[in-house]
Homo-oligomer: A and B are copies of this chain.
């Protein structure tokens, strides 16, 4: 007994973000996908990684378990997709108020701290997403990579660079490493918020170090 049984004429509609390649989704499919992601985020916000139980997600989003698995082949895939989703929001939000620091390093640090504060508002959700991200194995690489690219864009945005040098890209990579790992230590209660702040500010100094403008190499 299908819970939904109405029209769906045109099909092939694709909402905002064209989910990479793969066959485009029907309106109702897009809606299902959205319901699932919403349920996922909601459950995650409550109890973090463990609270996102596939059966519950399926139920909350009014979808059969098998269908859930057709959309997201594993819990990790689901949570990483949830992260992609949240990252888009975040990027939009961050864009609105560009960071005001003098140097690129300051602006990046400021941006990351802003993102960090957003995560602090939903620590459980952050837990679920970050744990999924670092636990992901090779089968999730494309999706994780996408998240990584998105993060890179955010950081480069904050730096305000058109065409960064390879050195600067390396610095950005290291910043991302630090960002992820620092989040984990915070989430697992091994580092304070203050400590995370220090770590971020510390690593951001690398940016100045690689800025062609002030070439004061060591």
Residues of A in contact with B (beta carbons under 8 Å apart): 49, 131, 134-138, 140-141, 144-145, 148, 167, 170-171, 173-174, 176-178, 180-182, 184-185, 188-190, 195, 198-199, 202-203, 205-206, 208-209, 211, 214, 216, 218
Contacts and interface: CB of A to CB of B under 8 A. Distances in A.
Nearest to A198: B170
B202 A208 contact: no
One complex includes copies of this chain to the number of: 2
Nearest to A201: B170
Given A209-B209, A214-B218, A202 B174 contact: yes
A188 to B, nearest CB: 6
A138 to B, nearest CB: 5
A207 to B, nearest CB: 9
A153 B40 CA distance: 40
A188 B218 contact: no
29 contacts: A131-B135, A134-B135, A134-B181, A134-B184, A137-B188, A138-B188, A141-B190, A144-B188, A145-B190, A167-B202, A170-B199, A171-B202, A173-B198, A173-B199, A174-B178, A174-B199, A177-B178, A177-B181, A177-B185, A178-B178, A181-B181, A203-B203, A205-B206, A205-B218, A206-B209, A211-B218, A214-B218, A216-B216, A216-B218
Contacts of A211: 218
A135 B131 CA distance: 6
A218 to B, nearest CB: 4
Given A137-B188, A174-B178, A176-B181, 5 more contacts: A167-B202, A173-B198, A174-B199, A174-B202, A214-B218
